[in-house]
Amino acid sequence: MSESEKSLKFKIVDIIYILMMILPLVAGVILKLLTKPATEGVSITGAQIYFTIPMPIQDFPVTESQITSLLVIITILFVCLYLTHGLNERINLKRQHFAEMIVEKVDKLVKDNMGEYFMGFAPFIVAILALSAFSSLSSLLGLYPPTSDINVVGGWAVLVFIIITYFKMKCGPLAYLKGFTEPVALLAPINFVSEFATPVSMAFRHYGNVLSGTVISVLLGSALAGLSSMLLGALPGFLADIPLFQFGIPAVLSIYFDVFSGCLQAFIFAMLTMVYVSGAFDITAYMQRKERKAAKSKK
C-alpha cells in the first residue's frame, strides 16, 4: 500500500470516529424532540420513561437518563478511539500530545491521592471523570443529564462501595469486622451505619448538586422571560415579544450551573472514590497477612 493510500485510509478512519462522537448525541437530541410531551409554563420533571420491559418481580422501565447514559458512553468510546488512533513512538500528532497529557495528569492524581499500590486504578478514575462530566454537560444539548437521576448516580456509588468493601476484605474477614469496633467497641453501631452511609452520601451529593443547578437554571430562565414580557409587553407589534433578558444572561448562568458545577462534581466524585478506596485498604496489615500465609505454606 502506497503512502497516499495509507494517508487516505487514516483520514477516513478519523472521519468515522469523529462522526461516531457526534451522531449518538444528535440521535439523543432528535429522540428528545420527537418524544417530549407538550407543556405549558415552567415544567420540572424527572427522566421520561420511553418504554417498560416486563420482568418477573418488577417491571424494568427504560428511561431518558439510561438512553442518554448509553449515548454518552458511546461518545466517550469513540473519543478514546480517536485520541489513540495512529499512536507511535514518535509524536507527530497533536492528539497524541493531548492523550499523553491526560494519562500523565490522571496518573499523577492517582499517585498523589492513593499511592503507588493503586496506580492500576487510573483508568477507572478517568472513566468516572469522563462519564460524570460528559453526562452533566449533555444538558447543554437539551438532553436530560443522567447525573440528575438518583438511580444512575446511585449505581455508580454502589459500584464504588463494592470496591471499597473488597479492599477492606483483602486484609481478612476478621480484620474487616474488627474495624467496626475501632476505636472502641461502643461505636460499633455508629461505624456500621457510617459504612453504608458512604454510597448514600456520595450519590445524593452528586445528584443533588447537579439537579439543583438544573432547577435553578429553569426557574431563572422562566423569571427572565417574565421580566422581558413585563417590561416590553406594552410596546406595539413584535417589539412586545422580544425576549430581551433571555439574550446572554442564561448562557452566562449555564457556564456555572452546567459547565463549571458539572465538571466540579465529577472531580469531587472521583476524589471521594480515591480517598475512600485508598483509606479502606491497610497495606501494612495486608502485607503482614501475606507474609503469614507464605510462612504457613512453607511449613
Side chain identity at residue 68, one-letter code: T
Grid cell 500523565 is found at 104
Q: Is the CB of residue 64 less than 8 Å from the CB of residue 51? A: no
> pLDDT exceeding 70 applies to what percent of the chain?
85
Which range scores top for mean pLDDT: 17-21, 52-56, 280-284? Answer: 17-21
pLDDT at 249: 64
Q: Which residue has the higher pLDDT, 156 or 237?
A: 156
Helices (H) and strands (E) in the chain, counts: 10, 2
pLDDT at 41: 53
User: pLDDT by residue (tens digit) across 141-181?
Assistant: 888 889 888 889 999 999 999 999 988 888 878 878 887 88
User: d(Cα 225, Cα 227) in Å, to the nearest integer?
Assistant: 5
Domain range annotation of the chain: 3-298
DSSP letter assigned to residue 2: -
pLDDT at 247: 60
User: pLDDT by residue (tens digit) across 76-86?
Assistant: 999 999 998 88
pLDDT at 22: 93
Q: What is the mean pLDDT of the chain?
A: 82
User: pLDDT by residue (tens digit) across 94-106?
Assistant: 888 888 899 999 9
Angle between helices 150-169 and 188-232 (to 10 degrees): 160
Among 151-155, 220-224, 282-286, name the one with the lowest average pLDDT: 220-224
pLDDT at 2: 67
User: pLDDT by residue (tens digit) across 24-60?
Assistant: 999 998 988 888 776 655 556 677 888 888 888 888 8
Q: Of 218, 219, 215, 213, whose CA–CA distance to 265 is shortest?
A: 213
Tell me the torsion sign for CA atoms 9, 12, 13, 14: positive
Grid cell 437539551 is found at 142
Q: Which residue has the higher pLDDT, 250 or 170?
A: 170
